[in-house]
Structure 1
Amino acid sequence: MPFQSLNNLSLIFHGDTKDLLNKPYRGNSGVVDYPLNRRTSIKDIIESLGVPHTEIGYLLLESIPQPFTFIPNGREEIHIHPLSPDLPVTSATLLRPNPLSRLQFMVDVNINKLAHLMRMAGIDTATVPRESYRIIAQAASRKKRILLSRNRDLLKYNEVIYGRLIRSQNTFEQFAEVIKLYSLASHFRPFNRCMLCNIVLKQVVKKDIIHRLEPLTKKHYTVFKECPGCNRLFWRGSHHDQMVKKLKTLTQEKIDDGY
């Protein structure tokens, strides 16, 4: 591949990483001729072009995998491949040598409705603290959670090991995106968590909470769950069937109705 300068670096972005490039670098099939005028890591170079490191699955130089700390010298051709379901976060890779032991998430406030939907499906989903970007990034790392956000600057922090730049603005499409990338369908446990607190619900006996129920609820429902955190009660109402129906459109897996 021709280079404009002896010091230029040829970057070839694959998959949907091409769509994340800053506007001046789009429109060339993901190929970027980068003027290498300073000594810096490949991670910093990629992120300067608009792509957070969280979106990268692996880097190749002459078919040899490279870490984020790799420092190019110029006249190299580096292929940037996206994160995919074939690279599960529970398995070690060169870019992420310390895998997660289980799937748990932290959702940014800019997509808070996604957190509610994920909790409804039984996925362990915390929300970010109202702090600085660095503190949020540190919290996600410390708690070993996958950080989901639409904020590129937040995901570029070094402390963020596992994360995803959510593409869609539609909440249901966002959830479909997360399900596909992390193969979440088999982890569904509908109505197992509080949609407000993320705490696992506990079964309660109707007679113990009957004084808290409206007359029609007393009459038509017998099985109840309670959040140990906020004491909110849950039962199989009409909204339940609608939500289960929505979940079934996202997967071929058999879905337990939670009750």
Structure 2
Amino acid sequence: MDRHRITIGLAPELRFLAAPGRRGERTPLAVDGTSSLGHVVESLGVPRTEIGLLLVNGREVPPSHVPRAGDHVEVRAVRRPQRLPGGAPRFLLDVHLGTLARRLRLLGIDTAYDSTDPGDAALAARSAAERRVLLSRDRGLLRRRGLWAGAYVRGDRPEEQLRDVLDRFAPALAPWTRCTACNGRLREADKDAVVTRLESGTRRTYDVFAQCTACERVYWRGAHHAHLAAIVTSATDYAGRPPTRATTT
């Protein structure tokens, strides 16, 4: 097969996704003369969900562009905050991001999550059917065809991951309005209406309740409320800050 040489440079925010030998500003690369630039960049380890502008010899091109011998390619990261069609972003998380899913729901962000792991194909299909952004740290999953939108989540700890999502998509926050267990909407609940669902100690101690309109789970300001309130305060404070460059983890 006839092969051609190009040089390719990844934005600093994307280099950690590539193999160690392909993280420079001008990395020589052999291409076959028929593969699209989007495919070439993905072959380096960078999912298309992370690719922003593609520049060939200083000119913007689409991912379908086929690079030629001697081309210099610059790959930029997705611009933050990332705007999506259809208004407020809705999310779908893979099985490994359960804590992040609960924190997004705590902030009132529409977040689908299934702890039973439906599989990559089902996740991609659900992303397309429901127009949800698939969040994952699995680069292979983010390369699946048919995704409506996706994003690689930076950070190993839930607080880092949450900040990355808030930074990238700038979703509107409405804390304490969603069920952290099922994503349903919460409504105020009269104590008498939920009393049969409460333990005796809870009945004696608390008078203010909310209930999920979907799974009917009951919420009150119990022992964990201070911890959850700290998460909400930290997130709402952070959401007021300007976007920053993505971390490289």
1:122 aligns with 2:91: no
Q: Partner residue of 1:180? A: 167
Q: Aligned AA for 1:15?
A: P
In the alignment, which residue of structure 2 is the partner of 1:56?
51
Deviation at 1:211, TM superposition (A): 2.7
Look up the match of 1:133: 120
**Contact 2:50-2:151 at 8 Å conserved across structures:** yes
1:54–1:161 CA contact under 8 A, matched in 2: no
Q: Cα–Cα, structure 1 residues 253 and 152, in superposed 2: closer, same or farther, change >3 Å? A: closer
- Structure 2 CA distance for aligned equivalents of residues 177 and 10 of structure 1: 30
Q: Which residue in the other structure is 1:150 paired with?
A: 137
- Give distance in 2, aligned partners of 1:210 and 1:54: 47
The counterpart of 1:73, out of the listed 68, 83, 86, is: 68
What is the TM-score normalised by the length of structure 1?
A: 0.83
Give the C-alpha shift of residue 132 in structure 1.
4.1
- Select the residue among 29, 33, 42 that pairs with 2:28: 33
Q: Say whether the 8 Å CA contact 2:99–2:158 is kept in structure 1.
A: yes
CA distance in 2, matches of 1:15, 1:219: 57
Q: Number of aligned pairs?
A: 237
Per-residue CA shift, 1:213-245, capped at 9, x if unaligned? 233322332221111222210012232232122
Superposed counterparts of 1:241-256, under 5 Å = 241-252=226-237
CA contact (8 A) 1:190 1:244 kept: no
Partner of 1:213: 198
Select the structure with the greater relative contact order (CA < 8 A; seq sep ≥ 6): 2
Q: Structure 1's 48 and 245: CA in aligned 2 closer, same or farther, altered over 3 A? A: same
Q: 2:151 is matched with which residue?
A: 164
CA contact (8 A) 1:89 1:100 kept: no
What CA distance in whole angstroms lies between the structure 1 residues aligned with 2:162 and 2:220? 23
SS of equivalent residue, structure 1 residue 102: coil
Residue 192 (1) aligns with residue 177 (2): yes
By how many angstroms is 1:119 displaced?
0.8
One-letter code aligned to 2:51: I
1:112, distance to aligned residue in structure 2 (A): 1.7
1:16 to 13, 16, 21: 13
The Cα shift of 1:253 comes to 6.9
Q: Give the distance between the partners of 2:237 and 2:58, measured in 1 at CA.
A: 36
Is the Cα–Cα contact under 8 Å of residues 54 and 160 in structure 1 kept in the other structure?
no
SS at 1:57's partner residue? strand
Please list every run of 5 or more consecutive structure 1 residues that lacks an aligned counterpart in the other structure.
1-5, 91-98
Task: Give 1:107's aligned residue.
Answer: 93
Contact 1:193 1:201 in 2 (8 A): yes
Which letter maps to 1:85?
R
Distance in 2, matches of 1:19 and 1:219, equals 54
Moved over 6 A (4+): none
Please report the TM-score for the alignment, with normalisation by the length of structure 2: 0.86
What is the root-mean-square deviation of aligned Cα atoms in Å? 2.2
Letter of the 1:204 counterpart: A
Q: How far does the alpha carbon of each residue in 1:104-136 deviate from its partner, in whole angstroms, 9 at most, with x for none? A: 000000222211111111111002574442332
| 46-55 or 226-235: bigger deviation | 226-235
1:42 maps to 2:29 = no
- Contiguous gaps of at least 5 residues in structure 2: 241-249
